Amino acid sequence: MAKLNRNGVNIYYEVYGTGPVILLSHGYSATSEMWRGQIEPLSREHTLMLWDMRGHGLSDYPVDPAAYSEAATVADMAALLDAVNAPSAIVGGLSLGGYMSLAFHKAHPDRVKALLVIDTGPGYRSDQARAEWNRFALDRAQRLEKEGLAALNVASAEVMASRHRSAEGLILAARGMLTQHNAAVIDALSNISVPTIVIVGANDKPFLNAADYMAKKIPGAEKVTVPDAGHAVNLDQPAAFNAAVLDFLDRLR
């Protein structure tokens, strides 16, 4: 358990095990706590890195809105790998964390050995669809402004498992990190050449089409649909999730 200072912003992270590095990123308004059930199985033969994005959990909540962006998040991820002297890693995450993993691959393809894309959307090619998503993100920020952390009381399992010091960081993260501004990530899917697994809960209806799309667009990608699981597939069905990931990791050897 440590903190990495990134231009005055402290980023909380944890490291477990030894071996090839896995960097897992949580979803919006969740924290590294969502991965508790993955620490033991994934750190047996790997170095597992978990972290809290800026504005979340035990990381800093900078007050400058400009401190929250896709680019800043990707740079945080690169700095985390630098902190453990990892030139490359298996990179993945859930929802926003999965999207940021795709963005990280676009920015640093040489630093990604494989991708774990979990209950994630790759962004939008349509300006109208992106605008609708951004309205959703800004609505979340407004609700947090109005209700504070109580706005998270009705949320999926990964959010319920997480703790934040205040809503201020989440408000700024919704506006700066959850919103999207172009089609760069979705347009880059066909350029991914590393082994990729797309995992989605069978009951996570908003992300089923996105999982199908990514599995088709990413060359050689495989898709696993986990029965009786929603958006937090690793929490809803941890045994099935862990088995799918471990099988994928074994085939990377």
What pLDDT score does 42 carry? 98
Helix H or strand E encompassing 26 = none
Is 48 strand, coil or helix?
A: strand
What pLDDT score does 154 carry? 73
Is 224 strand, coil or helix?
A: strand
In terms of DSSP H, where are the helices of 157-204?
157-160, 168-173, 184-187
Both structure tokens of 85? 């002297």
CATH number of 2-250, picked from 3.40.30.10, 3.30.450.20, 3.40.50.620, 3.40.50.1820: 3.40.50.1820
Strand partners, 91: 23, 115
Q: Are 231 and 95 in contact (CB under 8 A)?
A: yes
Q: Could you say which DSSP state residue 231 is in?
A: S
- Cβ-based neighbours of 25, under 8 Å, separated by 6 or more: 51, 53, 77, 92, 93, 94, 96, 97, 98, 100, 101
What is the tens place of the pLDDT at every residue in 109-121? Answer: 999 999 999 999 9
> In degrees, to the nearest 5, what angle opens at C-alpha 223 toward C-alphas 104 and 252?
65
Helix H or strand E encompassing 211 = helix 205-217
The model's pTM is 0.95
- The domain segmentation of the chain, as residue ranges, is 2-250
Which of left, alpha, beta for 28 (phi over 0: left; psi -120 to 50: alpha)? beta
In the chain (253 residues long), the average pLDDT of successive 10-residue segments reads 92 97 97 97 97 98 97 98 97 98 98 98 95 96 95 86 95 97 96 98 96 97 97 96 97 87
What pLDDT score does 155 carry? 73
